[in-house]
Structure 1
Amino acid sequence: MNEYQQIFNTINLGLVVLDRELNVTAWNRWMELHSGMPAEKVIGQPVCDLFPALCDNSFIRIVKSVFAFGNYASYSQKLHKYLFPMKNPHGSSAVFPRMQQNCTFGPIRNDNKEIIAVYISVQDVTDFVMYEHKLIQMAKIDGLTGIYNRRYLDSRLTEEIERSRRHGNPLSILLLDIDHFKKINDTHGHLCGDYALRKISELLQELVRTSDILGRYGGEEFLCILPETSHEQAVVLAERCREQIATKPLACEDHQARITISIGVTGQHRDDTLDSIKKRADDALYQAKREGRNRVCSCPAASEPNP
């Protein structure tokens, strides 16, 4: 084995060579390991027979362009996720079951400078992509409860206000607050207080729809954004949340604590901003507190958004 063949088979990249008929003429050790396909079963075979899903128009177009013009081309993970379907080598992942890849296409020339083949290099970027995804999730998730944080909620609510206005669909929000939360902390300790926040989060996640956006808005406050939901529907959901939480005592260590919540409900007005819709929900929540807590108060939308 000459030194170039040694490099070809030990480099930490996938290397594939295709002729003009898109037959595989070289398949390095990296490709063998990650595809599970030994070189002797691959070389001489049309790549489109080996990977039918690979040969869409964009792949064929890239290869033909390299043969025709001798250019270099890339196949970015940001746009395509992967070129060759391979298992994620960094462990099972529901988000990234396949290896994420950046690929480069380039010409191979003979001594007469004629293009005789195209090489494809395959770089595994799964580790980087998974880490990037984790950072993005951390930026929008509340560390204690595992639901969305205030920054993300404000961003999503702004988007939903614009979407509602554009499409003429109703939009409602719930602002929820745990009653006498300071007393829970003072009586049972901060560990029980944290446990209460997590349990309330879990209960609320079970009660809202998958299309709703639930998060911790700060302290003992939660915000739930309800796209395409009328004011009446939002009040029904709010009452269900209030009733369910009130009927489930919290067991923390050797303590039993009855927890209740107060909820402010509002719907979108035509000219709403992020601040104005939150202000109405906060006013409704304050009214619920003032009237004795463990209740739902609402400030209905003045009118539906323009269609």
Structure 2
Amino acid sequence: MSNDADGLADLHWMFDMLHHIDVGLVVLDSSYQVQLWNSFMENHSGVSSSIAKEQSLLTLYPELDTGWLRQKLDNVFGLKTPIFISWEQRPFLFPFKSYRPITGIADKMYQNVAIRPLSSPDGSIKQVCLVVYDVTDVATNKMALSAANHKLQRLSQALSR
């Protein structure tokens, strides 16, 4: 096998992995145009990558807090450093439905989001990658535990009177 064939095979499996990994991957350019929209994003948004590609993320999702999101994205571009957004700060970035079993208690998918700068060969940052993690199980379990602890505390206070 030649080096070109090896490189093509490597590119193929990396592309396949990017599209089938169980996290959302969105690559945006400095104008917030979608460059990559993987199958996680397709499956949860109902928007195919062919429709999302080259559209502004802010056009695809006008309900996003655009001022807040622009500030986050511009900071990543300008400072060339990643940021992390926890579901505890903002329950979700994308308003995806929660697809949990019947026992699930959340209507929307809770998300952690990492926004990372992507370096070009010349070292400049022309794109960022949003990595969207579904943390619905963790979030709902933590909220249920917190509610149970509050209830126990109230019961304890009532019994001590």
Matches within 5 A, 1:42-121: 42-91=52-101, 96-121=106-131
Write out per-residue CA displacement over residues 127-164 of structure 1, whole angstroms, 9 at most, x where no aligned residue. Answer: 1111112222222347xxxxx8413xx3xxxxxxxxxx
Please tell me whether residue 31 in structure 1 is matched to residue 31 in structure 2. no
- Aligned residue for 2:15, secondary structure, equals helix
- How big is the shift at 1:38? 0.9
**Match in the other structure for 1:20:** 30
Which protein has the larger Cα radius of gyration, Structure 1 or Structure 2? 1
**Match in the other structure for 1:150:** 155
After TM superposition, the score normalised by the length of structure 1 is: 0.46
One-letter amino acid of the structure 2 residue matched with residue 76 of structure 1 = S
After TM superposition, the score normalised by the length of structure 2 is: 0.84
Identity of aligned residues (%): 25
One-letter amino acid of the structure 2 residue matched with residue 105 of structure 1 = I
- Aligned residue for 1:139, secondary structure, equals helix
**Match in the other structure for 1:5:** 15
- How big is the shift at 1:91? 4.2
**Match in the other structure for 1:133:** 143
Matches within 5 A, 1:199-218: 217-218=158-159
Residues of 1 paired with 2:93 and 2:102: CA distance? 19
One-letter amino acid of the structure 2 residue matched with residue 117 of structure 1 = Q
One-letter amino acid of the structure 1 residue matched with residue 155 of structure 2 = R
Write out per-residue CA displacement over residues 48-102 of structure 1, whole angstroms, 9 at most, x where no aligned residue. Answer: 1111121432210111111112111111110100001100121468963110000
Q: Which has the higher contact order (CA 8 A, sep 6+)?
A: 2
Q: Does the 8 Å CA contact 2:26/2:38 hold for their aligned counterparts?
A: yes
**Match in the other structure for 1:199:** none
Residues of 1 paired with 2:83 and 2:63: CA distance? 20
Residues of 2 paired with 1:117 and 1:17: CA distance? 7
Aligned length: 151
One-letter amino acid of the structure 2 residue matched with residue 32 of structure 1 = E
Write out per-residue CA displacement over residues 189-231 of structure 1, whole angstroms, 9 at most, x where no aligned residue. Answer: xxxxxxxxxxxxxxxxxxxxxxxxxxxx45xxxxxxxxxxxxx
Runs of 5+ unmatched residues, structure 1: 143-147, 155-216, 219-274, 279-307
- Aligned residue for 2:113, secondary structure, equals strand
- Aligned residue for 2:63, secondary structure, equals helix
- Aligned residue for 1:122, secondary structure, equals strand
Runs of 5+ unmatched residues, structure 2: 1-10
**Match in the other structure for 1:194:** none
Write out per-residue CA displacement over residues 1-35 of structure 1, whole angstroms, 9 at most, x where no aligned residue. Answer: 61210110121110001111111110001111111
